[in-house]
Structure 1
Amino acid sequence: MVIDGMDASAIGSDPTDPVADLLVRTATGDQDAFAELYDRLSPRVFGLILRVLVDRSQSEEVLQEVFLEVWQSASRFAPNKGQGRSWVLTIAHRRAVDRVRSAQSSADRDVRAGFRDLGVPHDGVAEEAELRIEGRKVASAMAELPDAQRETLTLAYYGGYSQSEIAALVGAPLGTVKTRMRDGLSRLRSVMGVMS
């Protein structure tokens, strides 16, 4: 395929990755390629966002934000560094997590304001201390895991990705991801048991 007088293979497009080809064409301003990219990936991207956000209307908003970012930043996609679908799904996951964090911050502010407005004294010191101690234990245990195990567990439990999605994101075989998760959980249980 030729883009602006250049052979797509000369700029690193992988002929076995049609999404990468569409991203390369989108980077040149090809609206037809972007429309095809949207048609091909939007159901998958929407499913990922919906799984993270749960709220359908917010998920639809984030879907539009994701594809706006893809349109604006397609030139930053490097076909020689990964699969096109993984690149788009990573953007989607990042946007969804940002929305969750934003919503959580807003909810936290509302709760704090609600308690303040109620004037009801709330003694959550012991509860807060226990949560912080437990959080530190988990963070410390996670820090002891090898990077590959920590990455897969973080993507699975904090990101909501399935094992096959993690395999696509990190570029590893599904069996390797399963092994990393199993070994990471085993080691995490062991470390947490010692720390308790």
Structure 2
Amino acid sequence: MGDHHIAPRSTGRARAGGAHGPDLSGTVARVADGDQEAFATLYDAVAGPVYGLVLKVLRDPAQSEEVAQEVMVEVWRTATRYRRDQGSVMTWVMTMAHRRAVDRVRSEQAATDRELRTARRESTPAYDQVSEEVTVRLESEQVRRCLRSLTDLQRQAVTLAYYQGYTYREVAASLSVPLGTVKTRLRDGLIRLRDCMGVNA
């Protein structure tokens, strides 16, 4: 998953003025109901700003792409938790992106510190260190595992659309299938991802 490069395409597609476009709170409500096209609309509005914010924190394009992908998956998974009275959709998403970026910085620092301690001791890492590392990586591993549970066609469509930032038509052209088929694959694949991750709509 780490060698997908979505940022240039997604930032190019997302408009900086996305908050002045569609009613994002209404869009999130439809995403919470499993509306895949609403998620595509939301993606277009926030993916670019998300990547830009994450990049400012991490200063590493490759890691920023990965974290931005994780944020968009989290937006899909947690859309039911958004509350209009607690702020705008953009604020909600950007807060989520900032938290994940900071978490990544901390986990990278923690990993570096653990490596240094391990090198000094030249011994097997203590149980709590292993547990911490597993916890840090759990969600990312869960996303990868759940992606593997999709059919090949669903996984290809989801990867192209949401991890590489392709439009529906670009996905259809890339996979040489009708546009309607792409939409069906994406909808079914994303719903299956949500079910695999145990998210209750």
TM-score by length of 2: 0.48
Flag the structure with more relative contact order, 1 or 2, with Cα contacts below 8 A and sequence separation at least 6: 2
TM-score by length of 1: 0.49
